[in-house]
DNA sequence: GTATGTGCAAATGGTTTGCAGTGGG
DNA sequence: CCCACTGCAAACCATTTGCACATAC
């Protein structure tokens, strides 16, 4: 029935991936779109979304959990944790190995088969910690 | 400048909180709205959202990270972890103490002042594990 | 009385989709 | 050729907001 369609090459998808790999800022789709548009001025936002979704599906890109806000994307598919600023939403990588969790004890839990985990630290970034910094 | 307004009582807010506390299913705003409407047929979805946001602010309720999808809410404000089914999005509580993380080593990391963390295990729920279960 | 809360409906904003045309294999 | 991919714009859908009225205190 549902055969997965063969993926073709496209300049748009290549550039979307390249530009995402070129930054470490975990951009939103729109931010990435703005970057990509400098190289492909006619690309549409819809195409950026479509390609991001495809790249997610093929594991070349990760969609980071969007806390009610816009989704952010990460070209670093190695497992690593993030810190999110609770005030401005900025997302940063955490260097080093991801936190070790006792996954094995969880396999039976709640009837779920555990595949992995997603860990996000919450905090205040340097900019937002300044006392005179206005709430966005 | 920005004085926090005094909170008054309202039947709507009370019922929203009660109904959220009455379930363990981490409902979306709309699901909660459907429950609440059985008791307050004239309540509007906007009011549910407004009250949920207020209850979040006062810590009586938690908004769970919405993975690109609808936000889910939890009246259990004790720190505890969750499992999310990657297939159907169902969210379940994890019993027992939350995973111990080495927060102290992170305080300096990436210039963030760490406040807490959010941990979500990913997996497949019992229903979605059945091989003949169609993809939603 | 006055400011907060509500219902309603319209606006918003991120994301998805339908369609006709383009282009990779 | 064929079917995946694109640009465009409209559609979608969760959430927010403006407004006039209701109501807690």
- Fold of the B79-136 domain: Dna Ligase; domain 1 (3.30.1490)
Higher pLDDT, B46 or B98: B46
Q: Beta carbon of B14 within 7 Å of strand D?
A: no
pLDDT band at B2 (very low <50, low <70, confident <90, very high): very low
Report the nearest residue to nucleotide D5, CA vs C1'.
Answer: A10
Architecture of domain A1-76: Orthogonal Bundle (1.10)
pLDDT band at B14 (very low <50, low <70, confident <90, very high): very high
User: Could you read off the pLDDT of B30-55 as tens digits, one per residue?
Assistant: 999 999 999 999 999 999 999 999 99
Q: How far does B119 lie from chain A, in Å, by closest CA? A: 5
Q: Whole-model pTM?
A: 0.78
Report the nearest residue to nucleotide C16, CA vs C1'.
Answer: A46
User: Could you read off the pLDDT of A55-92 as tens digits, one per residue?
Assistant: 988 889 988 866 666 788 999 877 777 777 766 667 77
Given this model, what pLDDT does residue B105 score? 52
Domain with CATH 3.30.1490.190 in chain B: 79-136
Residue A8 CA and nucleotide D4 C1' are separated, in Å, by: 7
Report the nearest residue to nucleotide C14, CA vs C1'.
Answer: A70
Backbone angles phi, psi at A120, to 5 degrees: -135, 125
Given this model, what pLDDT does residue B135 score? 46
Q: How far does A65 lie from chain B, in Å, by closest CA? A: 5
Q: Which nucleotide is nearest to B71 (CA to C1')?
A: D14
Residues in A touching B129 (Cβ below 8 Å): 113
Q: Beta carbon of A8 within 7 Å of strand C?
A: yes
Residue A135 CA and nucleotide D21 C1' are separated, in Å, by: 32
């Amino acid at each position: 029935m549902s055969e997965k369609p063969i993926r073709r090459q496209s300049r748009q998808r290549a550039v979307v991936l390249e530009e995402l790999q070129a930054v470490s800022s975990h951009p939103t789709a729109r931010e990435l779109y703005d970057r990509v548009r400098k190289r492909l001025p006619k690309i549409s936002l819809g195409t950026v979304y479509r390609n991001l979704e495809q790249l997610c599906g093929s594991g070349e890109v990760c969609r980071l959990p969007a806390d009610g806000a816009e989704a952010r994307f990460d070209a670093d598919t190695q497992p690593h944790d993030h810190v999110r600023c609770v005030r401005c939403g900025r997302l940063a990588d955490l260097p080093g190995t991801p936190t070790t969790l006792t996954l094995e004890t969880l396999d039976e839990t709640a009837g779920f088969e555990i595949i992995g985990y997603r860990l996000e630290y919450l905090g205040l970034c340097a900019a937002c910690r300044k006392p005179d910094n206005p709430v966005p």
